[in-house]
Structure 1
Amino acid sequence: MGAYLIQAVTRGFLPWLILISLAGWGLLLGSVQMLSIPAFCGAFVPLAYAASWQGIEQALLFNPPRQLVVSWLSMLLAMTPLLLVHPLTYVWQRSLLRKRWQAVVLFVLGFTSVWTLTGLLLMTLVVAARVMFGVSQAMAFIVTLAVCLVWQASPLKQRYLNRCHHQPRISAFGWGFIKDCLAYGVVSAGWCVGSCWALMLLPMLAEQGHVPLMLLSMGWMLWERFKRPRPARWHWPRLFR
């Protein structure tokens, strides 16, 4: 892992990705804002009502879509850049000299598009959870924490994580080059979403300690991403192993 990071620094990606991540954290710290709970919420709101047009309308009134999108993009900018050290280095090395920046842009475009769409889904789940659980927000967090712990230990999670290390063939010229770079970004994001969705969702549902939880989640994602692939089976992740 150390050799790979040194190589990334040599290629110039790591410093830029760190700066981009820091910029994302700056945006988040400058506008930290938890999702608002609509006034109709009580101790518990029936699912049918939360999913009704009136429930959705009330939730969107307190949480405008533009605000949700900006919050998600800031979170994405803060937490995901350092996950791209390996794939960006790969597309850089596998592309012709005059096409390297095109390859990087195409990869990032594909990666970002998938995570942006995922954010819309996760934000919808967060708003729905806040509407349903009303003032009992701790319950939503506890349920999500339990789901996250089970997912982290599951074989499917490990399969997704292993696939994050996949490095496909990239054509040198023409439409094949464009398609391969863009597809690599899309596919990498898909495996990344499958691996990280629970860790991204957890801080979004926290009433207190939103930013520290984001830092812990990002640190955990980086730690497990730089580990070698391992057999997909049930196991509880350990820091020192």
Structure 2
Amino acid sequence: MTRALAVYRDYVAGRFWPLFLASMLGWLGLLLFDATVEIPVLCTSGRDAMSDVSSIMAAVWLINGSAALLLPWLMLSWLLMLAAMMAPLLAPSLMHVWDRSLAQRRMRAALLFLLAYALAWMLALGLLQAAALLLRILAGGEVAALVLALVLALAWQPTGLRAQLLRQCHARRALPAFGLRADLGSLRFGVAVALPCIGACAGLMLVPLSSPTAHLPLMVAVSILMVVERYG
């Protein structure tokens, strides 16, 4: 915990203050706007679970608006969530990209890395949002869904596979210095960092997504846990 606080002090005073700023702006955006999906309460027979799920999913679109209206708001919420929660975790990887790139290409390399990382996470958050929605439907309510999500997250936390994925999040690779190969190298590195991070953090991220009522406090708790785990 002490080391994590020291890292945050380094963000404010050091060269990675933009990451701290991005995180703070993300939290501010979530305070002002945090999209959630409402689920109607329907009477179901219990004889055909998949039919019940299909009926509820159809009603979800009706009460939340069409996909063309709902999806952009959800994507904005995911982007703010990504900035708020993941920016503090990116300093080592971003430092690697910055230090291994030629001076005239550093900003470009960093932006390409961040673009690839963000796109991978946005796709993952879409799948996690769908999983959280399905969990709430099958569990029959938000509280039950939250309990199930917590059980899944706690079961995933101590596994050897997750520990391996966390180590891969910290992996470094050689980055080409020139031309198109350098651009592609930055993009590939962004994906290479994002994928194990998604695998390691998916269980934790499912917890706030499963509870629209406590969405923001749970995100804060999960974010603190991930920072302490990364730098503690």
1:71 and 2:77 aligned: yes
- Root-mean-square deviation over aligned CA pairs: 2.5
1:27 and 2:29 aligned: yes
Secondary structure, counterpart of 2:202 in structure 1? helix
8 Å CA contact retained: 1:50, 1:128: no
| Closer, same or farther: CA 222–44 of 1 in aligned 2, 3 Å | farther
1:60 and 2:61 aligned: yes
Which one of the candidate residues 216, 229, 232 is aligned to 1:224? 229
Secondary structure, counterpart of 2:177 in structure 1? coil
Question: For structure 2, which runs of at least 5 residues remain unmatched after alignment?
Answer: 65-69
8 Å CA contact retained: 1:88, 1:104: yes
Which one of the candidate residues 170, 191, 194 is aligned to 1:165? 170
Which one of the candidate residues 197, 206, 211 is aligned to 2:202? 197
8 Å CA contact retained: 1:170, 1:181: yes
| Closer, same or farther: CA 195–38 of 1 in aligned 2, 3 Å | same
8 Å CA contact retained: 1:38, 1:131: no
Q: Could you tell me how far apart the structure 1 residues matched to 2:86 and 2:190 are?
A: 13
In the other structure, the counterpart of 1:154 is 159
| Closer, same or farther: CA 90–5 of 1 in aligned 2, 3 Å | farther
Secondary structure, counterpart of 2:208 in structure 1? helix
Summarize deviations over 1:139-181 as a string: whole Å, max 9, x none: 1111111110010011111011011110100011122211111
Identity, % of aligned positions: 33
Secondary structure, counterpart of 2:38 in structure 1? coil
8 Å CA contact retained: 2:8, 2:20: no
TM-score (norm 2): 0.86
The one-letter amino acid of 2:135's match is A
Aligned length, in residue pairs: 224
Q: Could you tell me how far apart the structure 2 residues matched to 1:103 and 1:8 are?
A: 20
Q: CA deviation at 1:118?
A: 0.4
| Closer, same or farther: CA 147–174 of 1 in aligned 2, 3 Å | same
Q: Could you tell me how far apart the structure 2 residues matched to 1:45 and 1:220 are?
A: 41
Q: CA deviation at 1:208?
A: 4.0
1:94 and 2:97 aligned: no
Q: Could you tell me how far apart the structure 1 residues matched to 2:85 and 2:43 are?
A: 31
More helix by share: 2
Question: For structure 1, which runs of at least 5 residues remain unmatched after alignment?
Answer: 228-241
Q: Could you tell me how far apart the structure 1 residues matched to 2:229 and 2:184 are?
A: 29
1:129 and 2:135 aligned: yes
Structure 1 stretches of 4+ moved >4 Å: 1-11, 41-46
Which one of the candidate residues 127, 138, 142 is aligned to 2:147? 142
The one-letter amino acid of 2:217's match is P
Q: CA deviation at 1:206?
A: 2.3
| Closer, same or farther: CA 141–95 of 1 in aligned 2, 3 Å | same
Q: CA deviation at 1:130?
A: 2.4
8 Å CA contact retained: 1:103, 1:178: yes
Q: Could you tell me how far apart the structure 2 residues matched to 1:133 and 1:46 are?
A: 15
In the other structure, the counterpart of 2:18 is 16
| Closer, same or farther: CA 160–187 of 1 in aligned 2, 3 Å | same
- The 5 A counterparts of 1:207-218 are 208-218=213-223
| Closer, same or farther: CA 50–101 of 1 in aligned 2, 3 Å | farther
